[in-house]
Structure 1
Amino acid sequence: MQRTDFNACRFLVYGRVQGVGFRYSTVRRAQALRLAGYVRNRADGSVEVWAEGSGDSLNSLYSWLRCGPSMARVDRVDREALAPTGNYRGFSVTY
């Protein structure tokens, strides 16, 4: 049986998002939303998030990313919908 509500998004989060617990907070939020994928810092100071799961869960994650944890300052979140890979079984920090 094919899953009809299985989507993927790549988010790029800009602002003060490194060194403030953003990645680990993202992992906790994504796990609570039952998403699979990863979060990682990028050399330009942004954070990249790849998430796969239901459309509702991806929308909830996007809303959360626009604020982030309390120590973060999010200036912008770029969102790109892509085809899910199905390669992830959980959500984690990657380097």
Structure 2
Amino acid sequence: MKRCILKIKGRVQGVGYRASALREGLRLGLTGWVCNCFDGSVEAVVEGKPEKIEAFVAWCHRGPALAHVL
């Protein structure tokens, strides 16, 4: 079991990023949470198998279609 804390910056609020990240995490069998931050970023904390977390981090670099991750 591994834990990863992510801070995602860019155009990630108001584009469905949080809901999409939640769905992706559930699809991968991860537990944790995702929230919007006051500075316009999104924070995620996930736990699970290392290979599943790696897949989630890779997804976070892309995000949903309307997002623009820096």
Place the TM-score, normalised by the shorter chain, in its bin. over 0.9
What is the CA RMSD across the aligned residues, in angstroms?
Answer: 0.3
Letter in 1 for 2:48: G
Q: Percent identity?
A: 40
Counterparts of residues 65-84 of structure 1 (less than 5 Å):
65-75=60-70
CA drift of 1:29 comes to 0.2
Unaligned stretches of 5+ in structure 1?
Answer: 1-5, 76-95
| Residue of structure 2 equivalent to 1:26 | 21
SS at match of 1:66: helix
Report the count of equivalent residues. 70
Cα deviation code 1:22-67 (max 9, x no counterpart)? 0000011000000000000000000000000000000000000001
SS at match of 1:11: strand
TM-score, normalised on structure 2? 0.99
| Residue of structure 2 equivalent to 1:62 | 57
SS at match of 2:58: helix
Structure number having the greater helix percentage: 2
CA drift of 1:19 comes to 0.2
> Which is higher, the Rg of structure 1 or of structure 2?
1
Unaligned stretches of 5+ in structure 2?
Answer: none
Distance 1:71 1:42 in 2: 18
Distance 1:12 1:72 in 2: 14
